Amino acid sequence: MIEELRAKGIADEAVLEAMNTLPRHFFLDSAFDEWAYSENAFPIGNNQTISQPYTVAYMTALLEVKPDEKILEIGTGSGYQGAVLALLGARVYTIERQEFLYKRTKEFLKKLGFKTIKCFFGDGTQGLAEFAPYDKMMVTAGSNSVPKILLAQLKINGILAMPVGDAKSQIMRKITRTGEHTFETIELENFRFVPFLKGVNRIDTK
C-alpha cells in the first residue's frame, strides 16, 4: 500500500510512516480483510464508507500536520483518518452525525489506546465552536460550498482541507486563513465523497 501511495505522488514521509504503522484492517469488517490494503473504499455502516488510502494520505498531507496541533475532523466514520492524524502527534477533535458510528468508533478508538482523540456526536456543519480555534480542519464529506462558520473557527495561518462540488464529483480545496477576514484558496484534484449533511443540534462531550 505504501509503495502504491508513493507511486501516486504522496511524498510526505511522516504521513506514509503513520499509515504504514496503523493496521487499516482493524477499521473494517473482517469480510474485507483480504482487500484492506487495496486502493478501495469500503462500507462501514449507515451508508458511510472508509476512504481509499490515497484519499486519506492526500488530505492528511495537505494539512501539513505538526505535533500538538489542534485539528478538527468533521466526519469521524471508522476512525481511521483521525487515528492517522493522532499518530502524527495531533490533538484530534472529531465529530460524527451518525449516532451508531459515533458510539462504535468512540469505544473502538479508546480500546486502541488513542488518548489524543476526542469524539463528539452532533452537527458537523456547525463545526465545534466550544474548542475553537483550530490549527487545522478537515471535512471528509462533499459540499457545494464551504460553510463560513467553519472558516471562523480556523486560526490565522490555519489550513482547512475540504472537497467542494456536486454529488458526483468534488474538487479538493486547501484553504489557508491569511488574516482576520482573508483566505487563500487552492483548488486541487477531483474526488468523490459522501454528501456533507446536517446532523443533530446537540454535542456529546462526555
pLDDT digits (tens, 9 = 90+) for 15-52: 999 999 998 877 766 545 555 566 655 556 655 656 68
- CB of 30 closer than 8 Å to CB of 38: no
Residue 51 annotated in active site: yes
What b/e sequence results for 64-92 when a residue is b if at least 16 CB atoms lie within 10 Å of its CB, and e otherwise? bbeeebbbbbbbbbbbbbbbbbbbbebbb
Report cis status (omega within 30 of 0) of the bond before 163: no
| Cβ within 8 Å of residue 56, ≥6 positions away | 19, 80, 81, 84
pLDDT: is 50 or 83 the higher one? Answer: 83
Residue range 117-168, pLDDT digits in tens: 999 999 889 999 999 999 999 999 888 999 999 999 999 999 999 999 987 7
**What digits encode the pLDDT tens for the residues 85-95?**
999 999 999 99
The number of C-alpha atoms within 13 Å of 166 and in the hemisphere containing its C-beta is 1
- Rounded to the nearest integer, the mean pLDDT of the chain is 87
Q: Is the pLDDT of residue 201 over 90?
A: no
CA distances from 179 to 15, 41, 42, 46 (A): 28, 36, 39, 38
What are the residue ranges of helices labelled H in the chain?
Answer: 2-7, 13-21, 53-63, 80-87, 99-112, 148-151
Give the predicted TM-score (pTM) of the model: 0.88
What is the average per-residue pLDDT within 163-187?
Answer: 93
pLDDT band per the 50, 70, 90 thresholds, residue 197: confident
Closest C-alpha among 26, 32, 80 to residue 53: 80
Q: What is the pLDDT of residue 45?
A: 61
Question: Are 167 and 142 contacting, i.e. CB atoms less than 8 angstroms apart?
Answer: yes
The closest alpha carbon to 156, from 134, 129, 127, belongs to: 134
Q: Residue 51: name the closest of 18, 76, 70, 72 by CA.
A: 76
Q: Which of 30, 38, 51, 143 is catalytic?
A: 51
**Look-up of cell digits 476512525:** 79
At 142 the pLDDT is 87
